[in-house]
Chain A
């Protein structure tokens, strides 16, 4: 570990914290449906969309209606992307002349991008046309992120509203977040990326004659427009196979820093927005503090392990940190930091190959996802996932003092706790269940590239990433098979909507309750004790659930490599 490396990490943390309030203020305006300066320009677009689609943005929806409309919209988007991928061969914008994507692959990718997972079984540059990338994928990158923020807003309203039956209007939430938040930032962001060297062209590729006289075909495309929303919307689906490690996606150390910041920017803003919505911004800062503790712990372990390097290579005389699967322009620190950021959020973009991380360095991204990606987390998904844990944490505190738990002015009762457990239980159920199935069936065992415990880690990582809607991979796994495409498609869908629907049910249930003012007997949910309790509940829940699986994968891997055992 170096001073320069830690300087980068500290700068990243400082800027992230500084982003929370300004981003939160903007999000809060959208949460309340207030006009922003951008309404002058984009207001007509918003109103035009409502008119054509027959939407009354002021219609208040109960949680069931909100959930059904959200679900139907997502199904429509899924079918749209599926159709675009299946018809790729006959659609324009296909300079390389790629054929249609197969049925299982198109299903997997459509689910993947609709659920904000952006798991990619394919290599972008050898499978998808420019039009498929733009029309099929970029649209999902925006709308899956906007859906996440909409769900977060609905849950905030559940806490903030008093004795009401409704939690907002899904269409208005999703449209406003897209038009006034994601699109404007992405335009500026993409122009910055282009200026830094990220291509933005409709050409498919260009042939170069290298200095040694060989032919090198260089894949190009409309990369910057997709790259911007890929990071901002915590999608993570790369234009190219190598994702943000590809010099065309992430050409410099500066673009790398901006990419990492953009992953967290909306997530941290939402913590502030939550505090504001419930009338006490300290509540938001307390959440961010708990996230911060888990984040710093993760970065420290990952950076330390990667900087220590691989003992198997030290044996051969290659000293120093682990550079396999990393880019020189990022080095160890920025690669380890990126890996933790992308899995703390549900982004899944990578600037280094997690599969080639050291055993324990690679365990941190895996563990981050298993905790539910609630350390800042995905756009919207992070905060609503975190609030589910907060509900459990106040419940635990309530059990200890024998008092009905309260959180930000709402009594947390049996219904909310049951729903929160339901939402939290889906993750271990899918991850461990599906991993177990894949670990015994021949079709599953055909997947891993690496032998020994690392092969098991590849399978475990895939289902963790899928169910957690992350999308990063231990990419040695050959996942482009009907078995993995199907299983992971189902895992992604369950991991997304079986969390969202209970979260919306909680929102509906809370909104109907009356406000209970805090008394001297209330457990304070702002101080250090609360932060500690939150971290404890998250770690115990995640630790107890997943530790056995980690012991079989990365921990066994670590013990093997440190004792000189290779596979």
Chain B
């Protein structure tokens, strides 16, 4: 038994170091090189820029509170939500009073600003990442009247922006119908700027 152990010392130590070099250093660095060469936009986080300013990422949800923007889902990432350096969810269980209290408060707020019946479930439930970039088409359409009023735009124009932003699942079942909130809001800003 002792000899068995002794004979394993060198392979164990040397292989640990060799694999560390191969898998821990060479492999991720090689992929970084490949990624930065072939897909630089994606490899750097699918960032959206306005000139030199980074305004966000295609894939990362942003916090919208004002009346002139479509809002995303409630977020438990970081202290104020949508903290893209501290992803996370509420982790509240199904029978949690904290959950029903929060949902109830959100329903009340929605009823004041964005009445819709029934309430789109995704607008009052926190996402898993806290950074969900999407809402359902129903949730987006439910906000059209509020935005149109706040921006003094015809509702039909806002509605057509939403319709254009709806992404349908590939093959009809791979994914869910969804609207990217940040991209929709950018399209909204642009359509106003063009006017």
Contacts and interface: CB of A to CB of B under 8 A. Distances in A.
Best-surrounded residue of B90, B136, B170 (most CB of chain A within 10 A): B90
B92 interface: yes
Contacts of A334: 175-176
B173 A8 contact: yes
Interface string B15-37: 11011101111011011101110
B113 interface: no
A493 to B, nearest CB: 17
B182 A357 contact: no
Interface in B120-142: 121-122, 124-136
A136 to B, nearest CB: 7
A547 B149 CA distance: 56
B94 A359 contact: yes
A380 B119 CA distance: 46
Interface residues of A, number: 131
B163 interface: no
Interface in B1-22: 1, 4-5, 7-16, 18-20, 22
Interface string A297-327: 0000000000001111101111111111111
Contacts of A356: 89-94, 99, 126
A166 interface: no
Contact of A209 (B24, B44, B54, B86): B54
Contact of B129 (A174, A245, A451): A245
B144 interface: no
B182 A199 contact: no
A315 B170 CA distance: 34
Contacts of B77: 242
A64 to B, nearest CB: 7
A195 B62 contact: no
Given A4-B169, A208-B54, A325 B126 contact: yes
B63 A214 contact: yes
- A68, A207, A359 — most chain B CB neighbours (10 Å): A68
Nearest to A179: B22
B60 A218 contact: yes
Interface stretch (A247-255, A417-425, A503-511, A526-534): A247-255
Interface string B56-73: 111111111110010001
Nearest to B128: A245
Nearest to B133: A247
B104 interface: yes
B194 interface: no
A313 B101 CA distance: 10
Contact of A171 (B11, B31, B88): B11
B91 A474 contact: yes
Contact of B31 (A53, A190, A311): A190
A194 B35 contact: yes
Given A208-B57, A240-B87, A561 B45 contact: no
A440 B22 CA distance: 46
Contact of A217 (B85, B90, B128): B85
Given A190-B35, A248-B45, 18 more contacts: A125-B86, A142-B23, A174-B15, A175-B15, A178-B23, A195-B38, A197-B46, A206-B44, A218-B57, A218-B85, A247-B133, A254-B175, A324-B90, A327-B127, A328-B73, A329-B175, A331-B176, A451-B97
13 contacts: A73-B15, A135-B20, A171-B11, A191-B31, A210-B63, A216-B84, A218-B56, A242-B131, A253-B170, A312-B95, A324-B92, A449-B91, A474-B93
Interface of B: 1, 4-5, 7-16, 18-20, 22-25, 27-28, 30-32, 34-36, 38-39, 42-47, 53-66, 69, 73, 77, 82-97, 99-100, 103-104, 107, 118-119, 121-122, 124-136, 169-170, 172-176, 178, 182, 185-186, 189
Interface of A: 3-5, 7-8, 11, 45, 49, 52-55, 64-65, 68-69, 72-73, 75-77, 80, 123, 125-126, 134-136, 138-139, 142-143, 171, 174-175, 178, 183, 186-187, 190-191, 194-203, 205-212, 214, 216-220, 222, 224-226, 240-242, 245-248, 251-254, 257, 309-313, 315-331, 334-335, 350-353, 355-359, 362, 449-454, 457, 474-476, 557, 560-561, 565-567
